[in-house]
A and B are shown apart, each in its own frame.
Chain A
Amino acid sequence: MTVLAQPAARTLTITRRRRSVRAAVVTAALAVAVAALFVVTMMVGSFRLSAWEVIASVLHLEDNPSVDFVVRGLRLPTAASGLTVGLALGASGTIFQQLLRNPLASPDFVGISSGAGLAAVGGIVLLNLGGLAISGLALGGAVLAATLMYVLAWRDGVSGYRFILIGIGVAVFFDGLIGYVITRAQLSQARQAMHWLTGSVGQASDTELKALTAALIVLLPVAVLLQRPLRALELGDDTARALGIRTELSRAGLLATGVVLVALAVSVAGPIVFVALIAGPIANRLLGPATGGIIPPAPAGAVLLLPAALAAVHLMPTPLPTGVVTGAVGAPYLLWLLATTNRQGAGG
């Protein structure tokens, strides 16, 4: 190696320092925003509370039975569901997008949510189930759909493009079946199924919420470790292998993490659209391009979902499912994304 020249070393130090400062500031700001939105979500409603009342009640600092009833009994489960589902969708979406090297490769589009939807709607309509059983079915459906796609896409390894195309095919197939199953349903079942399919943070039960929280506590640190191989995989399989990555093993680990996160999120709140699609790009815009993290998009997902959930409940005289609001915000973004990626020739 040639003798180290000073200017290169110095510019490099400055660049790297600037980047790590920006990353720290953005991640901290996102975390603060999530915490603030989490509290605000519990302040608003027919019975208005101050920020202090909410914090004191959640942290058991004061005892005030009427406030505790509203906060811990009514609002905390919904807020916690918005928080955890947002974190899970944000992390999962960015894993898929970076791994498959395509901003459109969100779990919403590649069949995983559809698999969950088919299983859940089948449970509601054909088996007359409700509550926790539906969540279990949705979880199983998402995992099965992901496994099916992985097997179908396997050909000496799994390439991004084939996985996306097969995922879209699987999604269309499942959506067709969902439509068919709904035509066989009674009116009340059909309404229940449609409500589930739109997705709402308010429908979470305590058990589901605990499962998702536990999964996040385990999987977010795992995701931190997996950021390393992900950064190498972004450069293409040949380069990644030349850098010493066991590409198939890393990819399987990343996909499994992403699938479990999205499957649990969908089983808790139904398929809330667009959050997984937008969280990663928003975090990247804040951090600077190609920073390749999994962690910053997670709070970005929560920052998107919490206000959407709040708006869904309070904007209209009757509460809407959360998915209606995220869909209304996300659809224009999707159109913009489709238009601009094609123009740059970077659509995959």
Chain B
Amino acid sequence: MTRLRAEGLTLGYDDKNIVSNLDVTVLDGKVTAIVGANACGKSTLLRGLARLLAPRGGAVYLDGKSLTDLSTLDVAKVLGLLPQTPIAPDGITVADLVARGRYPHQGWFRRWTERDHTAVASALEATGTADLVDRPIRELSGGQRQRVWVAMALAQDTDLLLLDEPTTYLDINHQVELLRLLRKLNTEAGKTIVIVMHDLNLACRFCDHVIAMCDGSIVAEGAPTEVVTAELVEKVFGLACMVVPDPVAGTPMIVPA
């Protein structure tokens, strides 16, 4: 049983198809990384899975129902997304931003409840941002800011969480910190997580499942130890390299040749 999957999915912008006829299954309760070179269609695929982009062919199914048949609000209760470059209104504070993640659980008239409060407090606690509640977002460091955005997505309290390049603008320390946080949310709260990311070594280290894309199609898929090989990296990124076991975790590690 898998909650989120795509069948024959074709997505594109204007008159150009970016990905064509893809079959994707997101494994429940796992952390999946979508990797690939720039412009290979990985962010487009994520946007399609998150209902931000309507399919031109095929369909995305959430709990057996096509996403296009579900209301935006119903999807938002189950499926969260952190976009690549989210926008923070000028001067907004951490508490205010994270609270906005509760939107899909609030009606037109039913406003702030105890459940909203608990969800926001837990999200702040889980992401280690509780002591920042009064601070404006723009005063935070990049790593703190990214954790606050994750907190907002957590406050939404969805079983599935999709993240579009959450580590791209972070230094190595903050990248690892964020991935550890996501890993923890997966093991402790059982969330299904899909991350679009660039760093193959970190993807191998922190994810259960890797989907490698090249020119809009999936070229390999599976556990990092099984699929990440020198041939694959050569094929996907055009980089000649050696793949050796990570000295700490034993997961594949790419060393440019």
Contact = CB atoms under 8 A, between A and B. Distances in A.
Contacts of A231: 100, 103
B125 interface: yes
B87 A242 contact: no
Interface stretch (B30-38, B76-84, B224-232, B247-255): B76-84
B100 A7 contact: no
B149 to A, nearest CB: 9
Contact of A1 (B85, B89, B126, B133): B126
A8 B91 contact: no
Given A244-B72, A290-B92, A15 B122 contact: no
Interface string A271-298: 0000000000000100011111000000
Contacts of A234: 87, 89
A14 B219 CA distance: 52
A7 B121 CA distance: 9
A232 B189 contact: no
B165 interface: no
Interface string B127-152: 00011011010000000000000000
A335 interface: no
Given A15-B134, A289-B90, A289-B92, A243 B100 contact: yes
A2 B126 contact: yes
A242 B50 contact: yes
Contacts of A98: 89
A4 B118 contact: yes
Interface string B102-135: 0110101000100001111111111000110110
A5 B122 CA distance: 7
Interface residues of B, number: 56
Interface in A93-123: 98, 101
Name the residue in B74, B79, B112, B133 with the highest tally of chain A Cβ atoms < 10 Å from its Cβ: B133
B72 A241 contact: yes
B103 A232 contact: yes
Given A246-B72, A290-B92, A4 B103 contact: no
A244 B134 contact: no
A101 to B, nearest CB: 7
A24 B160 CA distance: 37
A116 to B, nearest CB: 29
A1 B119 contact: yes
Interface string A1-21: 111110111011101100100
Contacts of B136: 289
Contacts of A236: 83, 85-87
Interface string A217-242: 00000000100100110111011011
A338 B75 CA distance: 41
A108 to B, nearest CB: 20
Contacts of B26: none
A346 interface: yes
Contact of A245 (B81, B103, B119, B121): B103
B156 A4 contact: no
Given A228-B103, A243-B104, A244-B103, A2 B189 contact: yes
Contacts of B120: 12
Contact of A290 (B47, B89, B106): B89
Nearest to B47: A238
B69 interface: no
Nearest to A242: B81
B117 A13 contact: yes
A149 B74 CA distance: 32
A346 B156 contact: no
Interface string B155-179: 0110000000000000000000000
A234 B103 CA distance: 13
B104 A244 contact: yes
A284 B125 CA distance: 29
A259 B87 CA distance: 25
B168 to A, nearest CB: 15
Interface of A: 1-5, 7-9, 11-13, 15-16, 19, 98, 101, 225, 228, 231-232, 234-236, 238-239, 241-246, 284, 288-292, 346
The 4 closest A-B pairs by CB, nearest first: A289-B91, A244-B76, A8-B130, A290-B92
25 contacts: A1-B122, A2-B126, A3-B122, A5-B121, A5-B122, A5-B130, A8-B121, A8-B122, A12-B117, A19-B95, A98-B89, A101-B87, A232-B100, A235-B88, A235-B100, A238-B47, A242-B83, A243-B103, A244-B71, A244-B76, A246-B72, A284-B91, A288-B93, A289-B136, A290-B93
